Structure 1
Amino acid sequence: MRVSERLSDTELLAFLKTLLPVKDWSEARLRPLPVSYTCRFWWLTVPGRSYLIKEFFPDNEENPLYPTLPEQEADALAVLARHGLAPDLEAFAQSPAGTPLLVYGNAPRQSEEIEVGEAAELIGRFAALNEPIPSHQIVPSGYHEVLKSGDDMLALIPQSRKAANLLRLRPETDAVPRREPVRSLVHRSFCLGTILATGDGARLIDWQFAGLGDPVEDIACFVSPGLAMLYGIHPLVAHVEDMFLEAYPQQETVERFLEERTAYHWRLAAYCLLRHETLSTTNAPAARAYGRALEEEVDLLLRLR
């Protein structure tokens, strides 16, 4: 049993009463949300305010592509909330179960709907932000570094027949000229599943995977059918992807994405294959989910050829 499973809703609510500046708890409503691979979530609503509570599972810091780093998320929120890019960081503490607990706060949302143009405007404003955010991991930036990280993941499963097949789809190293790496904060799991509708507009959540890399990665994530599958949402259809790319404010980044995108999709396919094979004996439902995401990315790579 995970440590986090011992934190009951009653214990959590009692703990939140010591953290949050709520004057009247009599109308508070705490509602559990679906559990992800790395976190548990709850909605807490009180008059005039909504909170999203995230409890991080332990032992997810060593993932080869998406290490879960709660402190990085707290650091990002502390800066990005001031720019209307993320919800407010209400609290970051150790839960009674000994796990990291983070609380977002926002004005109550009026609608669940997020328009594709709104998503493009939001991530474009984030990419243009020039305020430094400290203490973030350095992540692969650009076509060649991304391909290398995919190679490194496949090297962890050298006996895999599927890995040998995936290597046949690897983009050519020399297909894109080498460039100086771009380094700015990137979200790295940007999709409709990581955008929160609030009373103040759309806000980006789930910063635990963020790092210093190329904004092209966030575009690749948004249009990735495999990542969408992992977040339980439908992949974008072609005309919606086109709408997103047309609405993205920095068109020079879009041009670089169109040139380099196969590296990002191939790297995600390699990651999904690694997770599919390494989780098959310990977490069969997760392994199956990664297997479906792998199929989506492979299909896309074949269409892009």
Structure 2
Amino acid sequence: MTEQLSDSVLLAFLKDQLSVQDWSTARLRPLPVNYTSRFWRLDTPERIFVVKEFFPDNEENPLYPTLPDQEAEALTFLARYDLAPALEIYSHSPVGTPLLVYGYGLPKNDEIDVGEAADLIGRIAALREPVPGHQVVPAGFHEVLEGGDAMLAAIPESPKAVNLKRLRPADDLVKRRAVERTLVHRSFCLGTIQSTPEGARMIDWQFAGYGDPVEDICGFVSPGLLKLYGLHPLVAYAEDMFLKHYPNQDTVERFLEERSAYHWRLAAYCLFRHETLGQINAPAARAYGRALEEEVDLLLRLRVK
């Protein structure tokens, strides 16, 4: 078992690695943790740093594998385009775990406008220079549905899985077509956008890959994903404003046609996590259960339209 990285050992490591002029008022504090990573925030007079310690081998996730190398590549690449904060450190911690640090200046405020969020993710989708080493992820209506099918097949004894299958969008609802893959964040929401003095930047790139930008629009408007990030679902006018400001309206049209597949797959994922975490992490299982309810409610509303 890996030795746990203590706050004092981490702070000593950061003092040796980061170019901070004044450590006298620096404050390191832990942030919420999850199965595959721990987080800290380091406040200094000049900059804020976020520290992420990864445990990529803790679990096999059918939808969101933890890939720290990808996050490091994304930060290095996207900072050049003013789309992500700067990567400060990517190495092994004093206890041997992958450790990543990104930093940004002190923001004037933490508010993110949905129009700014739409512009940011639209600019990322428009990038044509490939990011090194990124995974290829399921893209398009039919591949996404197949991913949801596989997750439900992994919990065959679940009564809720039977009910969720009844909400599955039909394959013939959308014609099969080729998808022009672009860089997608895959957990894009207000919780993964950081305000900086230079504008909004995207964080949490460990799940990213090459897929369909429709997935990121679905993520932003997903009530289940927002629930998992501890945020409230978007009100209708905020969703409308986001879609109006998204730079590529052809992608918005495909989102309106194909969104049910992405929401259904996320519901399947939440159910899978709810069922498989129930005996080992009851609080997490309950959180996924609440997110599942949000996605199912949305699927029912979409059916009525």
TM-score (norm 1): 0.97
Q: Deviations over 1:111-145 (max 9, x none)?
A: 01111111111111111111110111110000000
- Counterparts in 2 of 1:1-305, with a 5 A limit? 3=2, 6-60=4-58, 62-305=60-303
Provide the rounded CA distance (Å) in 1 between the counterparts of 2:236 and 2:58.
Answer: 34
1:194–1:206 CA contact under 8 A, matched in 2 = yes
3-state SS of 2:234 partner: coil
The alpha-carbon deviation at position 60 of structure 1 amounts to 4.3
3-state SS of 1:83 partner: coil
Length, aligned pairs only = 303
1:60–1:67 CA contact under 8 A, matched in 2 = no
2:54–2:68 CA contact under 8 A, matched in 1 = yes
The alpha-carbon deviation at position 62 of structure 1 amounts to 2.1
The alpha-carbon deviation at position 69 of structure 1 amounts to 0.4
Evaluate the alpha carbon distance shift between residue 68 and residue 60 of structure 1 in structure 2; reply closer, same or farther with a 3 A threshold.
farther
What are the ranges of 5 or more consecutive residues in structure 2 without an aligned counterpart?
A: none
Q: Deviations over 1:227-283 (max 9, x none)?
A: 000000001111111111011111000000000000000000000000000000000
Provide the rounded CA distance (Å) in 2 between the counterparts of 1:145 and 1:182.
Answer: 14
The amino acid that maps onto 1:151 is D
Query: After the TM superposition, which of the residue ranges 124-133 and 203-212 deviates more from structure 2?
Result: 124-133
1:181–1:214 CA contact under 8 A, matched in 2 = yes
Query: After the TM superposition, which of the residue ranges 61-70 and 259-268 deviates more from structure 2?
Result: 61-70
Provide the rounded CA distance (Å) in 2 between the counterparts of 1:281 and 1:37.
Answer: 14
The amino acid that maps onto 1:248 is Y
Provide the rounded CA distance (Å) in 1 between the counterparts of 2:247 and 2:58.
Answer: 34
Q: Deviations over 1:72-104 (max 9, x none)?
A: 000111100010100000000111122111101
Identity %: 71
- Superposition CA RMSD, Å: 1.2
The alpha-carbon deviation at position 47 of structure 1 amounts to 2.2
Q: Deviations over 1:174-208 (max 9, x none)?
A: 00011012211100000000001111111000000
Provide the rounded CA distance (Å) in 1 between the counterparts of 2:123 and 2:289.
Answer: 34
The alpha-carbon deviation at position 58 of structure 1 amounts to 4.0
Provide the rounded CA distance (Å) in 2 between the counterparts of 1:151 and 1:184.
Answer: 24
3-state SS of 2:102 partner: strand
Provide the rounded CA distance (Å) in 1 between the counterparts of 2:66 and 2:276.
Answer: 18
2:228–2:288 CA contact under 8 A, matched in 1 = yes
What are the ranges of 5 or more consecutive residues in structure 1 without an aligned counterpart?
A: none
The amino acid that maps onto 1:183 is R
